[in-house]
Structure 1
Amino acid sequence: MSTSTDTAPATAAAAAPPPPAPAEGWRRYLGAARRPRGAVGLGLLGLLVLAALLVPVFSGGYDQQSATTFAPPSWAHLFGTDELGRDIFVRTLYGLRADLLLLFAGVPIAMAVGTLLGIAGGLSRALGMFLQRVFDIILGFPGLVLGIVIALIMTPGQSALLITIGIVLLPGYGRLARAALLAQEQREYVLAARVLGVPRWRVLVRHILPNSVDPIIVHTAIAMVLAVFLETGLSLVGLGIQPPQPSLGTLLNTGVRFLSLAPVYVLGPTLILLMLALAFSLLSDALNEAVTGYDR
Structure 2
Amino acid sequence: MTATTNATTTPAETAAESAAGTPATPRARSAEGRRRYLAALRRPRGITGLTLLVLLAAGALLVPVLSDGYDQQTAATFASPSWQHPFGTDELGRDIFVRTLYGLRADLVLLLAGVPLAAVIGTLLGIAGGLSRPLGMLMQRTFDIILGFPALVLGIAIALILQPGTTALLVTIVIVLLPGFGRLARAGLMEQEQREYVLAARVLGVPRWRVLLRHVLPNAIDPIIVHTAIVMVVAIFLETGLSIIGLGLQPPEPSLGVLLNSGVRFLSLAPAYVLGPTVVLLMLALAFTLLADALNEAVTRS
Bin of the TM-score, shorter chain as denominator length: over 0.9
Look up the match of 1:15. 20
Q: Aligned equivalents of 1:16 and 1:129: distance in 2? A: 32
Look up the match of 1:244. 252
2:58 equivalent to 1:50:
yes
The equivalent position to 2:176 in structure 1, one of 147, 168, 178, is 168
Look up the match of 1:79. 87
Preserved CA contact (<8 Å) 1:32 1:289: yes
Preserved CA contact (<8 Å) 2:40 2:294: yes
2:124 equivalent to 1:116:
yes
Deviations 1:58-92 (A, max 9, x none): 10000000000000100010000000000000000
Deviation at 1:30, TM superposition (A): 1.2
Percentage of pairs with the same residue: 76
The equivalent position to 2:41 in structure 1, one of 20, 33, 40, is 33
2:75 equivalent to 1:70:
no
- Aligned pairs for 1:1-296 (under 5 A) are 13-15=18-20, 17=22, 18-20=24-26, 21-293=29-301
Say if 1:286 and 1:251 are closer, same or farther in 2 by CA, change over 3 A: same
Aligned length: 286
Q: Aligned equivalents of 2:241 and 2:25: distance in 1? A: 41
Deviation at 1:12, TM superposition (A): 6.5
Name stretches of at least 5 consecutive residues in structure 2 with no aligned partner: 1-13
TM-score of the superposed pair, with normalisation by structure 2: 0.92
Structure with bigger helix share is 2
Look up the match of 2:6. none
Deviations 1:104-158 (A, max 9, x none): 0000100000000001111111111110000000000111110000000011000
Q: Aligned equivalents of 1:62 and 1:219: distance in 2? A: 33
Q: Aligned equivalents of 2:88 and 2:61: distance in 1? A: 21
Q: Aligned equivalents of 1:11 and 1:75: distance in 2? A: 67
Report the more deviating stretch, 12-21 or 52-61.
Answer: 12-21
Deviation at 1:264, TM superposition (A): 2.0
